[in-house]
Amino acid sequence: MQSKNLFINLKNGVKYITFPKLESRDEIRHIFSSRIGGVSTGRYSSMNLSFTNGDSRENVLKNYKILCEVADIDINNLVLSHQTHTNNVRIVSDKDRGTGIFKEPFTDVDGLITNTPGVALVTQYADCTPLLFFDPVKKVIASSHSGWRGTVKEIGKVTVQKMKDNFGSNPGDIIVGIGPCIAKCCYEVDMPVFEEFKKINYLDLDKIFISKGNGKFMLDTAEANRQILVNIGIDERNIDISDLCTNCNCSELHSHRATKGERGNMAAIIELK
């Protein structure tokens, strides 16, 4: 696994990814996991961070503890939701610490926002597109899970709008990391998916889709999310965009498509110090 755009790190046997523009900011901690460095076995091997796909709770908790130690984040600070491909984005605070880890997760929430230090936002992935946000002026962070359904529902735009409305964020100040996901090389979709993207009239579909004929297309969700974020005012110079395909790198990154669903989950975590 090699990247020209993101940092690939190895610490204590754990392989993980960070975003250069976020890494340069002392006010936050963040991490995106790989498959490498956990205790899970079999199809979950080895860093699985999902409590709901059949792995033992004991193993998943150990994996979170290992990953949090690498990231210098207290596991008790984590906030985790039950993701269902919505564009629902929830603001969380200190009282929500431990949600999804030691108490029931929020349901039907695919994005989380906070301005509270010591609240670590967790979103999970196995091909969908991770979006991490940091406003260094208003000191606000967010994390949103954007599969193709979340992308056509413009969850990135919804997240930025909530940061504006609730915390006074200026989109031009926000730094964004678009993380590893299934890429255009491997993500074949059909005409109904293409038609959903056509409804967003500002998208440059020629940069997002390659037609294969017979109503089939190759889809670039990272590029689609980049365009959505730029449209709402994110400065292109403030975006790190992944060049890692989860399907191509399925030996090191969990991929739903590569394994036909027989897999674990990766996680993105971001926290204000």
| Mean pLDDT value across residues 154-173 | 98
pLDDT digit string, tens, across residues 44-55: 999 999 999 999
Residue 153 contacts residue 83 (beta carbons within 8 Å): no
Tokens representing 216 are 């089939």
pLDDT digit string, tens, across residues 250-263: 999 999 999 999 99
Q: CA-to-CA distance for 104 and 71, rounded, in angstroms? A: 24
Tokens representing 170 are 């200026």
Per-residue pLDDT band for 104 (boundaries 50, 70, 90) equals: very high
In CATH, 7-183+222-272 is 1.10.10.10: no
Residue 123: what pLDDT?
Answer: 98
| Mean pLDDT value across residues 153-168 | 98
Quote the mean pLDDT of the chain: 98
pLDDT digit string, tens, across residues 174-218: 999 999 999 999 999 999 999 999 999 999 999 999 999 999 999
Q: Would the pTM count as exceeding 0.75?
A: yes
| Mean pLDDT value across residues 76-104 | 97
For residue 10, the surrounding DSSP H or E stretch is strand 7-11
Residue 11: what pLDDT?
Answer: 98
Give the 3-state secondary structure of residue 129. strand
Q: Assign residue 118 a region (left: φ > 0; alpha: ψ between -120 and 50; beta: otherwise).
A: left
Q: Assign residue 72 a region (left: φ > 0; alpha: ψ between -120 and 50; beta: otherwise).
A: left
Which residues are within 8 A (CB) of 229 and not within 5 positions of it... i.e. 6 or more apart? 131, 156, 157, 160, 176, 178, 239
Q: CA-to-CA distance for 206 and 198, rounded, in angstroms? A: 11
Count of residues in the chain: 273
pLDDT digit string, tens, across residues 53-66: 999 999 999 999 99
| Mean pLDDT value across residues 132-142 | 99
Give the gyration radius of the chain's Cα atoms. Answer: 17
Residue 39: what pLDDT?
Answer: 98
Amino acid identity of residue 228, one-letter, is I
| Mean pLDDT value across residues 115-132 | 98
